[in-house]
Amino acid sequence: MSEPQSRRRIAILGSTGSIGTQALDVIAQHPDLFEVELLTANNNADLLIRQALQFNPNQVVICNPDLYDRVAEALQPRMIKVFAGIESVCDLMDSDRIDMVLAAMVGFSGLKPTLAALKAGKAVALANKETLVAAGSIVMPLSVEHQAPVIPVDSEHSAIFQCLQGERVKPSKLILTGSGGPFRTMPAAEMAHITREAALNHPRWKMGAKVTVDSASLMNKGLELIEARWLFDMAPDDIEVVIHPQSVIHSMVRFSDGCVMAQLSNPDMRLPIQYALSYPYRVPLAMERLDLIKLGCLTFEEPDLQRFPCLEIARRCIRQGGNAPCIMNAANEEAVAAFLAGNLPFTQIPEIIDETLARASFVANPELDDIYSTNFESRRIASERIALRHIE
Ligand SMILES: NC(=O)c1ccc[n+]([C@@H]2O[C@H](COP(=O)([O-])OP(=O)(O)OC[C@H]3O[C@@H](n4cnc5c(N)ncnc54)[C@H](OP(=O)(O)O)[C@@H]3O)[C@@H](O)[C@H]2O)c1
């Protein structure tokens, strides 16, 4: 990777999302360190156009082809090249004008372009955890083969990554922290009535809708458990989860001598985003500083697996291995979309995932084609199960 003296040219996949917009905020703070080479969006053409006019990338991709004309017309006076479709995103990963790719698309849609970036030998700052959940056994060897590092952006994994800097031995345990989400203390009997609005009201983090619902069901912690297994090559049973409602310790590592290292900061995604973009350098960031006296205390609890079964499902899937995490991820994406559309109660999200896991074809050693067909089959099964409940 280039030194920070030469500006890093960044491709932001999913620039209109929560991570994408915060990454642009980081880049705007450091015009001397970063420049934007490529921006991509799915449907939010207006924001993509505004971002392109502000950051002047060489190229943009609007994945929804119906919006191509609007974006192309708006950016034509600036001579910014405009493309449409996800295949264009993958094709552009080969460009020698890109130094680093921020994978900030949501869900399984992030897999193809992330694979293309790694095959092109680009450093990938990875926010899109679903890529590793669905295909970690394929993604990580590709990173090694093409000497294309995967640098975590998820705050927990960034914390672990930061704690491991300079260490020569593998830790004995990873301790992932989680806020517990908005329903941490809600009695089980009330959970059947959880509304979309309540689930989207996260107490600590402002994020996209899908990851916010995942945080509320604790599936986000399950996805992160699987992400950590691949990023740090750890046995699933050596990754613990601890609920830490203040979201100040972003995760910890324990070494064989008993030492525990933690990374602390106020909850602000711009810090892990910037660390990934500037790695291995640290650079200043304008954000609120941690005030330990004002904070007073940090607390920790065990996750309640009765009320939040998604976390246990994820642990089961990563122990089972093969395509089980991919089935789980696909079913979860369908179930969350149905919940957000008002077609599935919150408490039935884990039921849909379990039913899909019981019905989808298990593949012990999946190739990439198996991953795509698993995703397709599992989504079909999950949406059928959701439709059945809707009818009942
Ligand atoms: N937000 C956070 O604080 C946070 C923290 C840790 C990890 N993450 C992870 O980071 C990823 C992004 O999360 P987010 O909260 O930023 O999501 P988000 O706000 O929903 O943004 C998603 C981005 O991906 C684009 N996109 C969605 N579907 C697409 C598709 N089928 N093809 C191409 N582009 C598509 C969206 O484009 P349009 O806007 O144009 O539709 C948008 O730019 C997720 O994997 C999430 O788990 C997020």
Six-digit token string for 156: 């927990």
Whether 131 contacts 114, CB under 8 Å: yes
- Compute the distance between CA of residue 121 and CA of residue 110 in angstroms, rounded to an integer: 17
Taking CA atoms only, the protein residue closest to ligand 1 atom 6 is 154
CA-CA distances (angstroms) from residue 182 to 47, 200, 232, 371?
29, 9, 29, 33
- Compute the distance between CA of residue 221 and CA of residue 215 in angstroms, rounded to an integer: 7
Q: Does residue 351 sit within a domain?
A: yes
| Nearest atom within ligand 1 for CA of residue 205 | 3
Provide, rounded to the nearest whole percent, the portion of the chain with pLDDT above 90.
96
Whether 128 contacts 333, CB under 8 Å: no
> Measuring CA to CA, which residue among 333, 326, 369 is closest to residue 349?
333
Both 303 and 231 in a single domain? yes
**Domain final position from 117, 135, 153:** 153
Contacts 24+ apart (CB under 8 A), 201-204: 203/179, 203/245, 204/179, 204/247, 204/267
Q: Does residue 273 sit within a domain?
A: no
pLDDT at 4 > cutoff 80: no
Domain count, the chain: 3
- 204: confidence class by pLDDT, cuts 50, 70, 90: confident
Q: Does residue 285 sit within a domain?
A: no
Both 238 and 335 in a single domain? no
- Compute the distance between CA of residue 162 and CA of residue 155 in angstroms, rounded to an integer: 10
pLDDT at 1 > cutoff 80: no
- Compute the distance between CA of residue 13 and CA of residue 2 in angstroms, rounded to an integer: 20
Q: Which domain holds residue 215?
A: 155-268+290-308
Query: What's the CATH number where 93 sits?
Result: 3.40.50.720
Torsion angle, alpha carbons of 162, 166, 168, 170, to 10? -10
Whether 178 contacts 218, CB under 8 Å: yes
- Collapsed DSSP state (helix, strand, coil) of residue 101: strand
pLDDT at 5 > cutoff 90: no
CA-CA distances (angstroms) from residue 158 to 164, 265, 277?
10, 12, 12
Both 143 and 159 in a single domain? no
Q: How far is the CA of 106 from the centre of ligand 1 (A)?
A: 4
- Ligand 1 pocket list (CB less than 6 A): 14-20, 41-44, 63, 86, 104-106, 109, 127-130, 154, 205, 207-208, 210-211, 269
pLDDT at 91 > cutoff 60: yes
Both 369 and 325 in a single domain? yes
Q: What residues pair up with 83 in beta bridges, in sequence order? A: 61
**How high is the pLDDT of residue 68?**
98
- Compute the distance between CA of residue 102 and CA of residue 190 in angstroms, rounded to an integer: 39
- Compute the distance between CA of residue 278 and CA of residue 265 in angstroms, rounded to an integer: 18
For 161-188, the pLDDT digits (tens) are: 999 999 999 999 999 999 999 999 999 9
**How high is the pLDDT of residue 392?**
65
Contacts 24+ apart (CB under 8 A), 58-65: 58/97, 59/83, 59/92, 59/95, 61/85, 61/88, 61/89, 61/92, 63/89
Both 131 and 249 in a single domain? no
Provide, rounded to the nearest whole percent, the portion of the chain with pLDDT above 70.
98
Whether 225 contacts 231, CB under 8 Å: no
**How high is the pLDDT of residue 113?**
98
**Domain final position from 108, 135, 153:** 153
Q: Does residue 282 sit within a domain?
A: no
Both 142 and 159 in a single domain? no
pTM of the model as a whole = 0.97
The answer for 255, left when phi > 0, alpha when psi is -120 to 50, beta otherwise, is beta
- Compute the distance between CA of residue 341 and CA of residue 263 in angstroms, rounded to an integer: 37
Q: Does residue 313 sit within a domain?
A: no
Q: Does residue 284 sit within a domain?
A: no
Both 294 and 344 in a single domain? no
pLDDT at 3 > cutoff 60: no
> Mean pLDDT score of the chain, rounded to an integer?
96
- The residue-averaged pLDDT of 45-73 equals 98
Place of tokens 């345990």: 173
pLDDT at 2 > cutoff 60: no
Q: Does residue 72 sit within a domain?
A: yes
Whether 22 contacts 46, CB under 8 Å: no
**How high is the pLDDT of residue 391?**
66
DSSP state of 291: -
Q: Which of 40, 106, 226, 274 to mutate to test the pocket of ligand 1 (most atoms within 8 A of CB)?
A: 106
Both 31 and 49 in a single domain? yes
> Measuring CA to CA, which residue among 132, 134, 137, 139 is closest to residue 116?
139
Q: How far is the CA of 267 from the centre of ligand 1 (A)?
A: 18
Both 104 and 168 in a single domain? no
For 313-358, the pLDDT digits (tens) are: 999 999 999 999 999 999 999 999 999 999 999 999 999 999 999 9
Q: Does residue 344 sit within a domain?
A: yes
Query: What's the CATH number where 330 sits?
Result: 1.10.1740.10
Both 19 and 120 in a single domain? yes
- Compute the distance between CA of residue 182 and CA of residue 200 in angstroms, rounded to an integer: 9
Q: Count of H helices and E strands in the chain?
A: 16, 11
Both 202 and 228 in a single domain? yes
pLDDT at 206 > cutoff 90: no
Both 209 and 80 in a single domain? no
**Domain final position from 308, 337, 359:** 308
Q: How far is the CA of 19 from the centre of ligand 1 (A)?
A: 7
Whether 265 contacts 250, CB under 8 Å: yes
- The residue-averaged pLDDT of 276-300 equals 96
Q: How far is the CA of 60 from the centre of ligand 1 (A)?
A: 16
- Compute the distance between CA of residue 78 and CA of residue 16 in angstroms, rounded to an integer: 20
- Collapsed DSSP state (helix, strand, coil) of residue 365: coil
Vertex 368 angle, CA 67 and 119, to 5°: 70
- 88: confidence class by pLDDT, cuts 50, 70, 90: very high
